[in-house]
Every structure is written in structure tokens, then in C-alpha cells.
């Protein structure tokens, strides 16, 4: 073996260990040298040398001392909230959020844009201006963007970045991925919004440290994230978890996907609003009838339900019951310990989780239900944003983009 080959192997091992240190600190926060050495199966002197190099490169810093039963307290090291930043682009059918994170998951800036996702070239054109605005802010803050993550609905293949639902975002001459890369001059990673949500829950929320979890995202569509044996289930092309398109009513409504009676048509936020308006047209008595018809949204329905409005309570109960029926299939397939409820409808809290629980009690075998817990997410919309940030950092480390 030539000397150059030996140097190359040593450099690769050192780079791998450096990425391992950054990954441990990102996942677990501040760590001691001994903790890092144990996690990486390396010696303390080797880790000390790598920490010194990472500190010189402005990736990590000493942030205090840890606990010690006897003797001198060990030094704690953590990621340095320096000028490295990750841009998260959260695209949904009701708005777009642009968020700048540092490596400690701190939000440095945020821009909310009243722009609805459409499968059109016009959407990409409209997205350019807010992207340029956030890019200008990044320049003013003197930040270096190391990666961009984009969470959006649809059948997203994370390996290729292709969205098979919103096909016009994949134009060869200028795709969404190309637009983001051009604006921020950094690697771009696309992820399905529900996958981003459960990744956020797994790293920072209720699913942290758990191995068998379902995360149901009740937004303008319905998506299911699955953690099985501690790993997020992706499937062959990253499409696993499209619970919203299982059929619950053979003679039901036509779904946007072209099928009939999908769970989406019964339980999504858009279906809830549609049913509220249909009930009002039929003459159902409700305080919602006093509102401007076009101003009725999910939050208003939830507010009226909490105030005791019968129509709002009935329809939220119906949504929860149908959702619980659909979830009972997933419970039998994956045998989870926890179901996390997220999305705009999750703001109804017990008004939505109670009928979900009752339906699961009704349709699941008792032994599947005995140890199952159902909770509303504590992170809310931040689960998706944190998850997208975590996905970017994970991809950068795996693809050897940093340090």
C-alpha cells in the first residue's frame, strides 16, 4: 500500500469520526469527551484531538461542565451557533413558511407567505420573490447556508427529489429543487411533510426514545408517519404512510386522487369545512350560521365546538370516528405504543382525540389497545419544521457534505 493510500484512509476515518461527533451533538445536545468516545468507539485522546479541530473550524465549542460524582467535573462540548445555517421551506396547500435555523435548532428568522401550493409553473414563479427576500436577509446576517430542506405534500421520492403528485414542480428546465439550489447555493433535500413531522417528533417530541409510533397528520389532507423498530418507515420510493387514500366508503365522495371514498374525503380539514357548509345549507342550527360563509375555517369550527355548538361538535366527532376507524387498520398492522395527532385539526384536542380513541376501542382487538396511548403533539407545526431541519443535517452528514 502506498503512503498516499494510507493518508487517504486515515483522512476518511477522521472525517467519519468528526461527522459522528456532530451527529451525536445534534441529536443529544452537549456531550463530554468520555460520552463521545464511548458512542464512537474511539479513545478519549483521539476524540480530544478531533474536538480541537472542530473547534478551530468553528463547528463546536466548550459550553460548561458536566456532573461528576467524584473529583473534577468534565468539560461539556456542544455545537456552536455560528454562521452556519439551514433554510427550511415548508410548503402546504394553505401557505408557505420560510425559516432560517442555526445548528442548535434555534430559529434565526422566519417569513410566512400567503401562497398556496398549486401544481403549476405560476406557483414556482410566485415563490421566487419570498425566496429572494429570505436570501437577502441571510446575506445581511452574514450567514453561510450549508443546506436547504423542503417539506411538502404529495408522493415525494427523497432520493430523486421528484414529487409524483405535483408533477409540474419537476420541470427539467427549472424544478423546485433547482430553484432552491439557485437561491441559496447549497445542497437541497425534499421530504414529504408527514415524514418530516414524524422525524421532528422522533428527534425532539413525544416519540423521542420510542420504537413503535404512528403520527397522524390531519391537515388539508391526511398522512401517516410510521416509526417501526426505531426507524422511520419509508417504503420502496418513500411513499409509505398514505393512509388518507385507503377506501372507507365504497359509495363515498370522489377524492382528488381520482378514487372514491378515501379517508381524506371524510377526515381532512378541507372535508370538515365542506361538511360544515353543507350542514348550514341544509338548515342545521348553528352559531356558525352567523358568520360570513367564506370566513368559516377550521379554527372557527373548533372555537364554536368548545363553546358548545352542536353542529361543530357533531362534525368533529364524525371526523374523529372515521379517522379512528382508519387508524385501527394501521394499529393492527404496526402494533404501536403511541399515536401522535398533529395538523390543523389536532388543535381541537380532546374533541378529536376522544372519538379517535372510542373508534379504536370499537374496531381494534383489545390486546392491541391495552398499552396504546394517544396524544396531541406538543410541538404542533414546529414538529414539521424541526423534522425538515433534522433531515437536512442527517443528509449532509451522510453525504459527507460537512464538515
Question: Do 333 and 237 share a structural domain?
Answer: yes
**171 and 229 both lie in a single domain:** no
Residue 316, domain member (yes or no): yes
**Nearest Cα residue to 105 out of 120, 118, 122, 88:** 88
* Residue 73 confidence (pLDDT): 85
Query: Which of residues 402 and 233 earns the better pLDDT score?
Result: 233
pLDDT at residue 81, as a whole number: 85
Q: Which CATH number characterizes residue 275's domain? A: 3.30.420.40
User: Which residues, 6 or more positions from 167, have their beta carbon under 8 angstroms from its beta carbon?
Assistant: 119
Residue 201 domain flag: no
pLDDT at residue 3 tops 60 = no
Give the per-residue pLDDT at 69: 66
pLDDT band for 286, please (50, 70, 90 cuts): very high
> Largest alpha-carbon pair distance within the chain?
85
Mean pLDDT within 163-191: 94
Measured CA angle at 341 (ends 339, 347), to 5 deg: 155
Strands 96-101 and 107-113: antiparallel
Same domain, 96 and 173: yes
User: Does residue 359 belong to any structural domain of this protein?
Assistant: yes
- What pLDDT, in 10s, does the model give residues 29-57? 899 999 999 999 999 999 999 999 999 98
Alpha carbon 367 to its chain centroid, in Å, reads 30
**Is 182 in the same domain as 212?**
no
- If asked whether residues 177 and 119 sit together in one domain, one would say yes
pTM score > 0.75 for this model? yes
Residue 289 has pLDDT above 80, yes or no: yes
Domain boundary among 79, 97, 123: 79
Examine residue 67 and state whether it is found in any structural domain, yes or no.
yes
- pLDDT (mean) for 272-299: 91
Residue 340 within any structural domain of the chain = yes
Q: Is the pLDDT of residue 155 over 60?
A: yes
Q: Determine the 3-state secondary structure of 354 from DSSP.
A: helix
Q: What's the structural domain count of the chain?
A: 3
Are residue 213 and residue 331 in the same domain, yes or no?
yes
Q: Which of 63, 79, 95 is at the close of a domain? A: 79
According to DSSP, the residues that pair with 97 across neighbouring strands are 90, 112
- Whether residue 101 is found in the same domain as residue 250: no
Residue where a domain stops, chosen among 38, 53, 79:
79
Domain containing residue 41: CATH number: 1.10.10.10
- Domain membership of residue 4 (yes or no) is no
pLDDT in tens, 195-243: 999 999 999 999 999 999 999 999 888 999 999 999 999 999 999 999 9
CA atoms within 13 A on the CB side of 347: 16
Residue 3 lies in a domain: no
Do residues 212 and 357 share a domain?
yes
What is the residue range of 319's domain?
208-378
Mean pLDDT of all residues in the chain? Answer: 92
Q: What is the pLDDT of residues 297-346, one digit of tens each?
A: 999 999 999 999 999 999 999 999 999 999 999 999 999 999 999 999 99
**Cα 119 from chain centre:** 21
Q: Clarify whether residues 253 and 373 are in a common domain.
A: yes
Specify the pairing of strand 144-152 against strand 188-192.
Answer: parallel
The H-or-E segment that residue 334 falls in is helix 310-334
The C-alpha angle with vertex 56 and arms to 54 and 61, in degrees rounded to 5, equals 65
Q: Indicate if 222 and 352 belong to the same structural domain.
A: yes
Is 343 found in the same domain as 241? yes
- Same domain for 92 and 72, yes or no, is no
Is 165 in a helix, a strand, or coil?
coil
Note whether residue 1 is domain-resident: no
Amino acid at each position: 500500500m502506498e503512503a498516499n493510500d494510507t493518508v487517504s484512509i486515515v483522512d476518511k476515518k477522521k472525517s467519519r469520526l468528526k461527522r459522528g461527533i456532530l451527529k451525536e451533538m445534534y441529536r443529544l445536545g452537549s456531550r463530554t469527551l468520555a460520552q463521545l468516545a464511548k458512542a464512537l468507539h474511539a479513545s478519549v485522546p483521539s476524540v480530544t484531538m478531533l474536538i480541537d479541530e472542530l473547534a478551530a473550524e468553528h463547528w463546536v465549542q466548550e459550553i460548561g461542565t458536566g456532573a461528576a460524582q467524584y473529583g473534577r467535573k468534565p468539560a461539556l462540548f456542544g455545537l456552536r451557533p455560528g454562521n452556519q445555517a439551514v433554510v427550511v421551506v415548508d410548503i402546504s396547500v394553505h401557505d408557505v413558511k420560510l425559516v432560517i435555523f442555526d445548528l442548535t435548532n434555534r430559529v434565526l428568522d422566519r417569513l410566512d407567505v400567503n401562497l398556496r401550493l398549486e401544481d403549476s409553473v405560476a406557483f414556482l414563479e410566485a415563490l421566487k420573490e419570498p425566496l429572494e427576500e429570505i436570501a437577502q436577509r441571510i446575506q445581511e446576517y452574514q450567514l453561510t447556508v450549508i443546506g436547504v430542506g423542503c417539506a411538502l405534500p404529495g408522493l415525494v421520492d427523497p432520493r430523486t427529489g421528484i414529487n409524483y403528485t405535483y408533477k409540474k414542480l419537476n420541470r427539467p428546465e427549472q424544478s423546485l429543487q433547482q430553484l432552491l439550489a439557485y437561491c441559496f447555493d447549497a445542497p437541497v433535500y425534499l421530504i414529504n411533510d408527514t415524514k418530516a413531522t414524524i422525524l421532528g417528533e422522533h428527534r425532539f417530541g413525544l416519540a423521542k426514545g420510542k420504537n413503535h409510533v404512528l403520527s397522524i397528520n390531519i391537515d388539508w389532507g391526511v398522512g401517516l408517519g410510521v416509526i417501526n423498530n426505531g426507524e422511520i418507515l419509508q417504503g420502496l420510493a418513500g411513499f409509505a404512510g398514505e393512509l388518507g387514500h385507503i377506501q372507507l366508503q365504497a359509495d363515498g365522495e370522489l377524492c382528488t386522487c381520482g378514487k372514491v371514498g378515501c379517508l381524506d374525503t371524510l377526515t381532512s380539514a378541507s372535508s370538515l369545512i365542506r361538511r360544515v357548509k353543507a350542514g348550514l345549507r341544509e338548515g342545521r342550527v348553528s352559531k356558525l350560521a352567523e358568520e360570513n360563509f367564506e370566513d368559516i375555517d377550521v379554527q372557527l369550527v373548533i372555537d364554536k365546538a368548545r363553546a358548545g355548538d352542536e353542529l361543530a361538535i357533531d362534525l368533529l366527532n364524525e371526523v374523529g370516528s372515521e379517522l379512528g376507524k382508519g387508524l385501527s387498520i394501521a394499529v393492527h398492522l404496526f402494533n404501536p405504543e403511541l399515536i401522535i395527532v398533529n395538523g390543523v385539526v389536532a388543535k381541537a384536542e380532546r374533541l378529536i382525540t376522544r372519538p379517535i380513541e372510542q373508534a379504536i376501542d370499537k374496531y381494534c382487538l383489545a390486546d392491541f389497545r391495552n398499552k396504546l396511548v394517544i396524544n396531541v403533539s406538543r410541538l404542533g407545526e414546529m414538529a414539521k419544521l424541526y423534522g425538515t431541519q433534522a433531515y437536512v443535517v442527517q443528509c449532509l452528514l451522510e453525504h459527507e457534505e460537512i464538515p
